[in-house]
Amino acid sequence: MTGLPKRLPTISQVAQAAGVSRATVSRTFSRPDLLKPETIKRVHEVAEKIGYVPNQVARALSTGRAGNIALVVPDIANPFFPPLIRAAQARADHAGYAVFLGDSDEQPEREDMLLTKMAAQVEGFILASPRLDEERVRAHAARRPLVLINRDIEGLPRILMDVSVGIAAAIEHLASLNHRHIAYVSGPPASWANQQRQQAAVRTAEKLGIHLTTVPAYHPNHEAGRKAAGELAQLPVTATIAFDDLVAQGIMAGLADLGWRIPQEMSIVGFDDVLAATTYPPLTTVAAHSADAGTQAVKLLTEVLSRGQIRDECIIIPTELIVRATTDQPTKRPRTASAEPRSETRTESSQQKPKRTGRR
């Protein structure tokens, strides 16, 4: 039971103890090139002894530069984000910035609150998959330079995934396996990313003459996928494209609970490629390279920060289909309801060797 650390040691205390002016102490930590080596040494010694470190808050107030950038994500526990965050941190570090991370818990209000509170403490924002309406995003962008990830708002610098290529490849892949009835299990309806993926799916399906049904999952996680599985089982579809890997994994678990075999009775395609090594069977999915998105976002933001100019720039990150083991030819007569007896005339599906396109 001891008292609280009272107050942080200040520049004045160091100055006094070292017998120099406050300006000299300040210079020791910000512009040592202006000082005599022995002075620097003395100040450092005293500072060390007292436990002084430059106060970032005061520094920020004085200079207007906080040395931080904000990164706001909707859900840290979604495995799409950690690689993105790590990559962003690494790149920010490299540019001398610290990253303040905020988790909005998928709530627009929390996102708004976080950005408001952070405005003065950071020099710029990176908003990953923001749930906020466009107007408010623009309001925040008016305060600080802002880079978007996974959201397309004209006039703002943004990092987008080229969803259509990956989704098209996925549906073509399924079509080539003879699937004609496919379901898309959607993510949050308000999510821009979901709208993109859904649209791309609808468009490609139309072009290929494939029947596409949409099933809502609302929340992009395992549990929502699991619930969607029940609905899927009632549908006359032989393949499912999920909003993301988590939903896909949930669907696999849900169908497994119902006794379905994957891919024999249902082919599954995920999105993001964040669970590759961890599902069973290994998941066929569209890789989105989230780490690249993090790197590019920070790069773009720091450029804006140092150049003092905002370009209406849009960086597109390609997506690619990675075929693993959850997609194969459908059985002849798809089960339409769990009560229906199994088809006796199931084709021996030619075992497709899991092959990977792309890297690592």
Partner DNA sequence: TTGTATGCGTTATCAT
Partner DNA sequence: ATGATAACGCATACAA
Pick between residue 38 and residue 154 the one whose CB is nearest to a second copy: 154
Distance, in Å, from the CA atom of 139 to the CA atom of 135, rounded to the nearest integer, reads 6
Backbone angles phi, psi at 28, to 5 degrees: -55, -35
Binding segment (CB under 8 A) for a second copy, from list 32-40, 86-94, 203-211, 212-220? 86-94
Binding segment (CB under 8 A) for a second copy, from list 14-22, 33-41, 140-148, 330-338? 140-148
Distance, in Å, from the CA atom of 149 to the CA atom of 128, rounded to the nearest integer, reads 5
Binding flag, residue 97, DNA (CB under 7 A):
no
Binding flag, residue 53, a second copy (CB under 8 A):
yes
What does the H/E/C string look like for 225-290? HHHHHHHHHHCCCCEEEECCHHHHHHHHHHHHHCCCCCCCCCEEEEEECCCHHHCCCCCEEEECCH
Size of the site for a second copy (CB under 8 A): 66
Rounded to 10 degrees, the C-alpha dihedral 231/233/236/240 comes to: 80
Pick what 265 binds: a second copy, DNA, none; C-beta below 5 to 8 Å, kind-dependent.
none
For residues 171 and 241, the answer to whether their CB atoms sit within 8 Å is yes
Rounded to a whole number of angstroms, the CA Rg of the chain reads 26
Pick between residue 53 and residue 316 the one whose CB is nearest to a second copy: 53
Pick what 30 binds: DNA, a second copy, none; C-beta below 5 to 8 Å, kind-dependent.
DNA
Residue 117's CB is within 10 A of a number of other CB atoms, namely 12
Distance, in Å, from the CA atom of 359 to the CA atom of 290, rounded to the nearest integer, reads 14
Pick what 312 binds: a second copy, DNA, none; C-beta below 5 to 8 Å, kind-dependent.
a second copy
- 277 DSSP 8-state letter: G
Distance, in Å, from the CA atom of 238 to the CA atom of 335, rounded to the nearest integer, reads 8
Binding flag, residue 275, a second copy (CB under 8 A):
yes
**Which of 37, 154, 209, 308 contacts a second copy by CB under 8 A?**
308
Distance, in Å, from the CA atom of 357 to the CA atom of 158, rounded to the nearest integer, reads 27
Binding flag, residue 107, a second copy (CB under 8 A):
no
Which single residue is written with the structure tokens 């205390």? 13
Binding flag, residue 131, DNA (CB under 7 A):
no
Binding flag, residue 21, DNA (CB under 7 A):
yes
Instruction: Return the structure tokens found at 22.
Output: 């406050």
Interface mask toward DNA for 35-74; x: CB under 7 A: xx-xx------------x-xx--xx-xxxx----------
- Among 118, 120, 153, CA closest to 135: 153
Pick what 36 binds: a second copy, DNA, none; C-beta below 5 to 8 Å, kind-dependent.
DNA
Binding segment (CB under 8 A) for a second copy, from list 79-87, 164-172, 195-203, 227-235? 79-87
Residues near 208 by beta carbon (within 8 Å), at least 6 away in sequence: 171, 172, 175
For residues 136 and 110, the answer to whether their CB atoms sit within 8 Å is no
For residues 357 and 200, the answer to whether their CB atoms sit within 8 Å is no
Binding segment (CB under 8 A) for a second copy, from list 18-26, 38-46, 89-97, 260-268? 89-97
Pick between residue 116 and residue 278 the one whose CB is nearest to DNA: 116
Q: Measured over all CA atoms, what is the biggest interatomic distance in the chain, rounded to whole angstroms?
A: 93
The contact set with a second copy (CB under 8 A) reads: 1-5, 7-8, 51, 53, 55-58, 60-61, 64, 66-68, 75-77, 79, 82-83, 85-86, 89-90, 93, 98-103, 105, 110, 114, 116-121, 139, 141-145, 155, 222, 249, 253, 275, 277-280, 304, 308-312
The contact set with DNA (CB under 7 A) reads: 7-8, 10-12, 19-24, 26-27, 29-31, 34-36, 38-39, 52, 54-55, 58-59, 61-64
